Amino acid sequence: MKKNMGVVPAVYPMPVLMVAAYDANEKVNVMNAAWGQICDMDKIILFIGKGKKTWLNIQESKAFTVALADEAHTDVADFFGIASGNKINDKFERTGYHAVKSDKVNAPIIEEFPVVMECELLEFLETEHVSGIVGKIINVKAEEAVLSENGKIDPKKLRALMFDQFQNGYYSTGEKVATAWNAGIELMKK
Ligand SMILES: Cc1cc2nc3c(=O)[nH]c(=O)nc-3n(C[C@H](O)[C@H](O)[C@H](O)COP(=O)(O)O)c2cc1C
């Protein structure tokens, strides 16, 4: 028997994305964003509140990076979602984390997070109901330590965080339970 839950954003899991961008003086800022998703194979959309420091920085620099937060860096990932660069001038510096400039786009790469997408701003998407930031993925960088023998990113090594909106939890990923485009193949044969 299902119970009615009312209006709940019941998509699980949500990603834990670390969105980093420079201000006009190339000062680094990073925010935690769960409302974001790949759209098309080379594009990403982020739903970032207008006026947040990251939103302002992307408007200024026209570029950003999106890293996947992993289990080893949960505390800082969460801090990036609590603190705002609009209010805390040393938001990034107080974490002790390290940033280098991307060689592909005008945005910082946070060294501690193992996988990062380097993105150029395509557009601010404004409709009556949706306000999104669309970026083109120019390149992805990944630490060798999270690659599998076939040279691709291995989720079991990455241990990326997932976020749930029901209980406000962070969860780690890792166990593969099945292969996509394959687990349902027997039903195709019926
Ligand atoms: C788990 C989590 C997910 C979040 N996801 C988003 C999001 O997708 N969009 C958004 O605008 N704010 C989101 N936030 C809140 C921002 O990270 C927060 O407002 C932050 O202070 C913004 O930083 P900034 O002003 O330095 O850019 C999230 C916070 C947490 C803890």
- Cα(40) to ligand 1 centroid in Å equals 23
Closest ligand 1 atom to 91 CA: 26
Dist CA 29 CA 88 (whole Å): 10
Residue 149, pLDDT above cutoff 80: yes
| Residue scoring higher pLDDT (89 or 180) | 89
pLDDT of residue 173: 80
pLDDT of residue 55: 98
Residue 180, pLDDT above cutoff 80: yes
**Ligand 1, atom 6: closest residue by C-alpha:** 33
Beta bridge partners of 31: 19
Give 178's pLDDT tier (boundaries 50, 70, 90): confident
| 92 Cβ below 6 A of ligand 1 | no
Give 176's pLDDT tier (boundaries 50, 70, 90): confident
Comparing 9-23, 92-106, 175-189, the range with the smallest average pLDDT is 175-189
**Nearest CA among 109, 129, 124, 135 for reference residue 45:** 135
Query: Is 175 in a helix, a strand, or coil?
Result: coil
Give Cα separations from 162 to 15, 21, 74, 133 (angstroms): 5, 22, 10, 21
**Nearest CA among 36, 22, 175, 25 for reference residue 105:** 22
**Nearest CA among 96, 116, 101 for reference residue 160:** 116
- Cα(117) to ligand 1 centroid in Å equals 18
